[in-house]
Structure 1
């Protein structure tokens, strides 16, 4: 209980430096409303002027100092890099409000309000799923991938972790959140593409929620069977999971590609790179997860059969497997 409370306090306090710094900047700007991006009418200090003229660089600087460095140091002190996981669900929410409130922000109010609302729904869903999975504990364990890398790199993990856990996540998170910046940097009339993007985002959130809920029910039931000394259920192949081996990943990808459509509609097709990298990372994670599934003797055979009959990501009809040939039902 003491460790849980301590970690919760740390998690709430750690972003305060960035938040207070940004609020101070906004306060300075309100006192100097005539400043322009070109520096006309500028009576701000060089620091505040730089913050005004470079919103993306400021966001990255705050991320580097307040997430990469401080989270890394805390992780080294606690021998666990757990904190990046719950903040992964919060950082996009912080970023969308940052982009919307920066003095250089320019946007369509309806589109901005809708994207902010969708980001809140996405963040609440993912945060709820994280703490439900962790049994409402703060920092009870770190991501299994980090634990595996800790064993792999041994005594070098202390410095490798800065790049593998934090710096790489900055590039990744800032990349996939570029549509949030685009939405708040261009003012264009709301149109049918925004409606389509909204629907894709909502469908992604709903699919991910139901898939994660079904997975949580499955894992909880297996834990109960384990405590009772009864055989475990080898595989989850009900609900959404009978049509896709990773419907939660599919839903998450729909969310990010839906955000990209908002940006594409604002003539910023270059922002597809974030969603693409996310899909590539989820492809790599999919390989790791399925490898772990096959390492468990009680479910290996069932999972191999599951792989042969069920789509990897996109939900689709099951296949029958007989005599080495797949036949769609």
Structure 2
């Protein structure tokens, strides 16, 4: 069996314990004290399922395969599983119109991001893990096997459950539809569209450079066109707009604290931005041009170029 097919089967089978347990709960939630407890504590139940199925099982798989690739695939899938969990839970109550909109938007977001992931990975399952995990593995050396449980998996639980709390609020508060629901939906869709076109433009740029490298021609040092002309990270900006739009749904239902998840996401993307840009300036063929690009171009929010006068090299110093 080829590696690609084997990894695809592992990824498809991996969430089955949670799915089977939850479907059993739906059938028998009135028949025992344990199921009754799960009925009254939907957030605790989903956290227990996440901990056992993702943190523990995915981590054990990563130790066997020496790769944490699967968490990247499920970053795009878990929000869809969460929104259907919250919608179908026996204790849920919600406005049907709002729920249908949020479920549809979550699916659109997930399909967009999953497509972007596999397009980038050339349609391979588990071809590689996130480069940040690889760097951490080098940093921690022999201790990485246990550090990875916390740094890759446990932190993902806190982060993913936190940022997806609007999905829970939408399905636990039943209030009439209002104009803010339409605003939230428009903001979410805007973020998805921006992220899609940003990732497509980046994919086209990377593919073109790969072809230039194969033919021995000089690489184009920097992407400075399309949305990337106005922002150094328009894909990150689009992703933030999606999560902030989702938070508007929760805020509109009286849960102002829901902004915390979107804020933490923004702070994390801020740190990722720093790591990515440090990596860019280390590449000799693009370092100088990227430094000028940094000076002239907005970090996240698309904006007009700033005017930076470049001092001629012969007069510098």
Query: Does 1:119 pair with 2:111?
Result: no
State how far apart, in whole Å, the 2-side matches of 1:313 and 1:262 are: 23
Structural mapping, 1:1-329, within 5 Å: 2-29=2-29, 32=30, 44-322=31-309
What residue is the counterpart of 1:327 in the other structure? none
State how far apart, in whole Å, the 2-side matches of 1:111 and 1:8 are: 34
State how far apart, in whole Å, the 2-side matches of 1:150 and 1:269 are: 38
State how far apart, in whole Å, the 2-side matches of 1:322 and 1:242 are: 18
Q: Aligned residues, how many?
A: 311
What residue is the counterpart of 2:314 in the other structure? none
**Deviation sequence 1:134-163 (CA, Å, 0-9, x none):** 000000000000000000000000000000
Q: Which runs of 5+ in 2 are unaligned?
A: 312-317
State how far apart, in whole Å, the 1-side matches of 2:310 and 2:49 are: 58
Where 1:21 maps in the other structure, the secondary structure is: helix
State how far apart, in whole Å, the 1-side matches of 2:208 and 2:148 are: 34
Cα drift, residue 320 of structure 1: 1.7
State how far apart, in whole Å, the 1-side matches of 2:229 and 2:140 are: 37
Cα drift, residue 319 of structure 1: 1.4
TM-score, with length taken from structure 2: 0.97
State how far apart, in whole Å, the 2-side matches of 1:60 and 1:315 are: 36
State how far apart, in whole Å, the 2-side matches of 1:104 and 1:270 are: 22
State how far apart, in whole Å, the 1-side matches of 2:7 and 2:57 are: 14
State how far apart, in whole Å, the 2-side matches of 1:232 and 1:322 are: 25
State how far apart, in whole Å, the 2-side matches of 1:306 and 1:323 are: 11
What residue is the counterpart of 1:39 in the other structure? none
Where 2:307 maps in the other structure, the secondary structure is: strand
TM-score, with length taken from structure 1: 0.94
Q: Which runs of 5+ in 1 are unaligned?
A: 33-43, 325-329
Cα drift, residue 323 of structure 1: 6.0
Cα drift, residue 45 of structure 1: 1.2
RMSD: 0.9
| Deviant stretches of 4+, over 3 Å | none
State how far apart, in whole Å, the 1-side matches of 2:220 and 2:307 are: 21
State how far apart, in whole Å, the 2-side matches of 1:2 and 1:322 are: 54
Most deviating of 315-324 and 48-57: 315-324
Cα drift, residue 126 of structure 1: 0.2
Cα drift, residue 322 of structure 1: 1.1
